[in-house]
């Protein structure tokens, strides 16, 4: 393998000095990856090597600790997996993708066994919280340690006892609320920022606890869980969920994740029409950044939901209006805005205690490749403006006469 970083002596030294690697000085890092890592992950060395060569597995340092991040799935190791080489090798697996059902019937009956637990699907961003050495870290979906999320998670929840007693468990949940730098959404019971836990998983294997075990452990440590909306038999589920999803939509909430009580069968997600419209509004406020990726899937969801609901002419018309308006109106607003000389941008609010918090967060955004500027700091809040460059540039070009 001819990877520069592995031939780089300082990085080799890094691994040699790593207490969990047990390398003697004549073994080079690739040997370690070949022999030890493939055993730990149960993935063949050649697959790991290939992924490293392709840049799918990346090397980085976390507070002086060597670490690996999986940018994409490698066999059954999910994207977002992070491995820290501390005294112990800590493997925090990526959060598994949740497939979507377009139809409730017959899909639920085919997919689940006898009972389905419907949890609320909260609209925020996915966070895994785990212990690395003696440090609590919060990882975002792709496996980045976000300084803001880490700080807020330990402020919002008292996690010490949980992790003292359960160092090998990972808390998976959604950071939600309006002062949320990634997905801002208002929930009346949450307000500016809150956390809701939906899974507890084991490090390395990624096995989830059953719903009952999860509820018990969250209750024991006083940690906040997502709401359970119902427990249904597979036969009654489609009708119940059809009704429930309408209520969820009316309340301006996102949807449901349907789960097997034992968490052996994979969960499925199902979302409200209003949530589809909201996502399209967002996407078409920045049409050249998100429009294409968002559109097809949301239209397909709307089509199947309308069909399954056997909607009448009036209901269909309402849905069609909502869909069309959520695409066209925000886009026209943005064209007007760019025409007035402004960039297509969104402002995110974060809670800060001291100036370093903002700096750390801005650095994190920069590392992620997000173009953002600090607009202002007012008391304990900072306003960060994220610029959507493609949308700004393309609209400017068309306004000046550029061809599509
Ligand atoms: P995916 O997670 O399927 O890759 P995605 O990143 O686009 O897709 P969503 O469409 O929002 O995410 O749906 C899945 C996400 O929903 C999960 O990753 C998790 O962050 C979030 N979520 C919110 N509530 C729950 C819940 N009760 N159970 C599981 N996940 C939940
Ligand atoms: Mg989401």
Give one DSSP letter per residue of 322-373, joined into a string: HHHHHHHHHHHHHHHHHHTT---EEEEEEE-SSHHHHHHHHHHHHHTT--EE
Alpha carbons 14 and 36: distance in angstroms, whole number: 16
CB 78 within 8 A of CB 69: no
Considering only CA atoms, which residue is closest to atom 20 of ligand 1? 126
Alpha carbons 139 and 81: distance in angstroms, whole number: 10
Domain range holding 241? 99-269
Residues 33 and 132 placed together within one structural domain of the fold: no
Boundary residue ending a domain (77, 92, 107) = 92
Per-residue pLDDT of the chain (404 residues; tens, 9 = 90+): 334 444 455 556 666 666 666 665 555 666 676 678 888 999 998 898 899 889 999 988 888 888 999 999 999 999 999 999 888 899 999 999 999 999 999 999 999 999 999 999 999 999 999 999 999 999 999 999 999 999 999 999 999 999 999 999 999 999 999 998 999 999 999 999 999 999 999 999 999 999 999 999 999 999 999 999 999 999 999 999 999 999 999 999 999 999 999 999 999 999 999 999 999 999 999 999 999 989 999 999 999 999 999 999 999 999 999 999 999 999 999 999 999 999 999 999 998 988 888 999 999 999 889 999 999 998 899 999 999 999 999 999 999 999 99
Ligand 1 centre distance from Cα of residue 129 (Å): 16
Peptide bond between residue 41 and the one before it cis (omega within 30 degrees of 0): no
Considering only CA atoms, which residue is closest to atom 9 of ligand 1? 98
Ligand 2 centre distance from Cα of residue 254 (Å): 8
First to last CA, the chain: 44
Boundary residue ending a domain (66, 92, 118) = 92
Ligand 1 centre distance from Cα of residue 267 (Å): 10
CB 172 within 8 A of CB 128: yes
Q: Is 51 in the pocket of ligand 1 (CB under 6 A)?
A: no
Q: Is 119 in the pocket of ligand 1 (CB under 6 A)?
A: yes
Residues 87 and 104 placed together within one structural domain of the fold: no
Phi-psi label, residue 170: left if phi above 0, alpha if psi -120 to 50, beta otherwise: beta
E-strand spans in 29-114?
A: 57-62, 65-70, 82-85, 89-92, 99-100
Report which ligand 1 atom has the smallest distance to the Cα of 256: 27
Ligand 2 centre distance from Cα of residue 201 (Å): 19
Residues 377 and 350 placed together within one structural domain of the fold: yes
Q: Residue 183 CA: which ligand is closest?
A: 2
Q: Is 270 in the pocket of ligand 1 (CB under 6 A)?
A: no
Q: List the one residue out of 223, 232, 225, 236 whose CA is nearest residue 259.
A: 232
> Helices 273-285 and 313-339 meet at what angle, rounded to 10?
20
Residue 361 lies in a domain: yes
Residue 400 lies in a domain: no
Q: Is 271 in the pocket of ligand 1 (CB under 6 A)?
A: no
Residues 74 and 146 placed together within one structural domain of the fold: no
pLDDT of residue 29: 63
Question: What domain count does the chain have?
Answer: 4
pLDDT of residue 11: 56
Radius of gyration of the chain (CA): 23
Q: List the one residue out of 23, 75, 67 whose CA is nearest residue 49.
A: 75
Q: What's the CATH code of the domain at 245?
A: 3.30.470.30
Q: Is 382 in the pocket of ligand 1 (CB under 6 A)?
A: no
Percentage helix, strand, coil for the chain under 3-state DSSP, each rounded to 5: 40, 25, 35
Considering only CA atoms, which residue is closest to atom 16 of ligand 1? 121
pLDDT of residue 266: 98
Residues 211 and 114 placed together within one structural domain of the fold: yes
Q: Is 305 in the pocket of ligand 1 (CB under 6 A)?
A: no
Residues 40 and 114 placed together within one structural domain of the fold: no
Q: Is 269 in the pocket of ligand 1 (CB under 6 A)?
A: yes
Q: Residue 267 CA: which ligand is closest?
A: 1
Burial class (CB in 10 A: 0-12, 13-18, 19+), 321: exposed
Residue 367 lies in a domain: yes
If one residue of 73, 121, 149 were mutated to test the ligand 1 pocket, choosing by the most ligand atoms within 8 A of its CB, it would be: 121
Place of tokens 């689940």: 112
Chain centroid to CA 301 = 21
CB 344 within 8 A of CB 393: no
State the DSSP code for 37.
I
Residues 20 and 132 placed together within one structural domain of the fold: no
Q: Residue 109: which residues within 8 A CB-CB, separation 6 or more?
A: 234, 235, 237, 238
Alpha carbons 107 and 258: distance in angstroms, whole number: 12
Q: Residue 97: which residues within 8 A CB-CB, separation 6 or more?
A: 78
Q: Is 187 in the pocket of ligand 1 (CB under 6 A)?
A: no
pTM of structure: 0.93
And the tokens for 294? 């968002």
Residues 138 and 194 placed together within one structural domain of the fold: yes
Q: Residue 163: which residues within 8 A CB-CB, separation 6 or more?
A: 131, 136, 169
Residue 399 lies in a domain: no
And the tokens for 264? 């052996």
Q: Is 97 in the pocket of ligand 1 (CB under 6 A)?
A: yes
Alpha carbons 144 and 363: distance in angstroms, whole number: 12
If one residue of 269, 270, 280 were mutated to test the ligand 1 pocket, choosing by the most ligand atoms within 8 A of its CB, it would be: 269
Q: Is 182 in the pocket of ligand 1 (CB under 6 A)?
A: no
pLDDT of residue 87: 85
**H or E stretch including 283?**
helix 273-285
Residue 105 lies in a domain: yes
Residue 18 lies in a domain: yes
Which CB contacts under 8 angstroms, 24+ apart, belong to 60-67?
A: 61/14, 62/132, 62/137, 62/145, 63/135, 65/18, 65/132, 65/133, 66/11, 66/14, 66/15, 66/18
């Amino acid at each position: 393998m001819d990877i520069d970083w592995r031939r780089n002596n300082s990085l080799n030294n890094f691994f040699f000095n790593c207490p969990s690697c047990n390398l003697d000085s004549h073994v080079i890092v690739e040997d370690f990856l070949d022999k030890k890592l493939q055993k730990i992950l149960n993935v063949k060395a050649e697959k790991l090597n290939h992924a490293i060569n392709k840049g799918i597995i990346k090397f980085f340092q976390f507070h002086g600790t060597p670490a690996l991040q999986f940018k994409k799935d490698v066999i059954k190791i999910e994207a977002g997996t992070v491995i820290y080489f501390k005294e112990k090798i800590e493997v925090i697996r990526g959060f598994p993708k949740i497939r979507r059902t377009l139809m409730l019937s017959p899909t639920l009956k085919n997919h689940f066994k006898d009972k389905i637990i419907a949890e609320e699907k909260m609209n925020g961003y996915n966070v895994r919280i785990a212990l690395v050495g003696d440090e609590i870290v919060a990882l975002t979906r792709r496996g980045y340690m976000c300084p803001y999320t880490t700080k807020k998670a330990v402020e919002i929840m008292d996690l010490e006892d949980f992790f003292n007693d359960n160092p090998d468990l990972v808390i998976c949940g959604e950071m939600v609320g309006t002062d949320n730098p990634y997905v801002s959404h208002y929930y009346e019971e949450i307000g500016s920022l809150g956390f809701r836990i939906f899974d507890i998983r084991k490090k390395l294997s990624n096995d989830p606890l059953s719903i009952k075990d999860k509820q018990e452990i969250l209750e024991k440590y006083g940690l906040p869980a997502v709401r359970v909306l119902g427990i249904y038999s597979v036969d009654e589920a489609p009708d119940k969920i059809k009704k429930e999803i309408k209520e969820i939509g009316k309340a301006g909430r996102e949807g449901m994740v349907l789960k097997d009580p034992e968490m052996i069968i994979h969960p499925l997600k199902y979302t409200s029409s209003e949530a589809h419209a909201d996502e399209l509004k967002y996407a078409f406020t920045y049409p050249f950044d998100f429009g294409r990726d968002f559109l097809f899937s949301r239209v397909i969801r709307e089509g199947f939901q309308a069909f399954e609901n056997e909607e009448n002419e009036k209901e269909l018309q309402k849905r069609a209006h909502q869909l069309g308006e959520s695409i066209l109106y925000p886009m026209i607003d943005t064209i007007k805005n760019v025409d007035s000389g402004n960039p297509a941008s969104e402002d995110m609010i974060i809670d800060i205690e001291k100036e370093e918090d903002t700096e750390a967060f801005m650095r994190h955004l920069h590392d992620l490749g997000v173009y953002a500027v600090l607009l202002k700091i007012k008391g304990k809040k900072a306003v960060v403006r994220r610029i959507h460059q493609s949308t700004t540039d393309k609209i400017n070009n068309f306004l000046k006469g550029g061809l599509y």
